[in-house]
């Protein structure tokens, strides 16, 4: 074993808890114990915190992309909505068309929920616009 495998093995050996060792083994990083996905009960609790409060769309509106997906955040009523478009066709029945707009309900501090899951916005620039969108454990960079 060489390189990152040795580093990962050393991190697992230094881990103080089972959860920390498991996160190092699975995610390949040290001190990941507090970066776990919420358990279903915790996710339900977070969903209960969602409100229908008005949202200033300026920091969030734009397009965010990864290699395979393009997310477009648009203003909708007194909030924001999310549209997703695949950039690659994986299966015969796939399409490159954009999904219908799904409203995002605010939870707190750039965290939102939709019927498809959680979305988080990170790293505001000097003008206040968010530079990254996180969805399904993936980071997507602002492109427009």
The residue extents of the domains of the chain are: 1-36, 62-142
- Collect all residues with Cβ–Cβ distance below 8 Å to 112 and sequence separation of at least 6: 50, 80, 104, 105, 106, 118, 119, 120, 121
Residues 6+ apart with CB under 8 A from 33: 17, 19, 20, 23
pLDDT in tens, the chain (144 residues): 444 444 444 444 444 444 554 554 454 444 444 444 444 556 677 778 888 899 999 999 999 999 999 999 999 989 999 999 999 988 888 899 999 999 999 998 899 999 888 999 999 999 999 999 999 888 999 998
Extract the tokens encoding 70.
């393009």
The CATH fold of domain 62-142:
Lipocalin (2.40.128)
For residue 121, what are its two tokens? Answer: 């916005």
Confidence (pTM): 0.68
Mind listing the pLDDT tens digit for each residue in 31-65? 444 444 444 556 677 778 888 899 999 999 999 99
């Amino acid at each position: 074993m060489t390189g990152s495998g040795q580093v990962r093995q050393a991190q697992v050996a230094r881990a103080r808890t089972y959860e920390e060792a498991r996160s190092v083994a699975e995610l390949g990083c040290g001190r990941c114990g507090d970066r776990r996905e919420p358990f279903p009960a915790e996710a339900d609790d977070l969903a209960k915190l969602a409100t229908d409060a008005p949202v200033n769309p300026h920091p969030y509106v734009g397009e965010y992309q990864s290699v395979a997906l393009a997310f477009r955040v648009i203003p909708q009523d007194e909030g924001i909505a999310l549209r997703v478009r695949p950039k690659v066709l994986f299966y015969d029945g796939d399409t490159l068309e954009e999904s219908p707009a799904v409203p995002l309900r605010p939870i707190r501090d750039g965290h939102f929920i939709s019927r498809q899951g959680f979305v988080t916005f990170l790293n505001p620039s000097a003008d206040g616009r968010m530079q990254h969108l996180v969805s399904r454990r993936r980071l997507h960079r602002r492109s427009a």
